[in-house]
């Protein structure tokens, strides 16, 4: 059940990021999350775990609030 909660929270965070950055396509948003999570290799988005993506999304959202 933990994975479902993480995924739901990640989807909410993606929606929030979409509102803050309407010019970002979904693929760009996912790539930005991977980079914010410290993943820079070619398969970064593919290997990104939901928990990592959520932490990265929260980081980007917090940066925007400041």
Q: Measured on CA atoms in the order 60, 27, 42, 5, is the torsion positive or negative?
A: positive
| Entry field: residues in the chain | 66
Tokens 């929260």 correspond to: 58
Helices and strands (H, E) in the chain, number of each type: 4, 0
pLDDT in tens, the chain (66 residues): 578 999 999 999 999 999 999 999 999 999 999 999 999 898 899 999 999 999 999 999 999 988
Q: How is residue 42 annotated by DSSP? A: T
Enumerate the domain spans of the chain: 2-65
pLDDT on residue 16: 97
């Amino acid at each position: 059940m933990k994975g479902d909660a993480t995924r739901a929270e990640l989807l909410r965070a993606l929606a929030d990021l979409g509102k803050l950055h309407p010019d970002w396509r979904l693929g760009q948003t996912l790539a930005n999350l991977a980079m914010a999570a410290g993943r820079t290799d070619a398969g970064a988005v593919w290997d990104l775990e939901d928990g990592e993506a959520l932490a990265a999304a929260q980081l980007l959202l917090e940066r925007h609030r400041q």
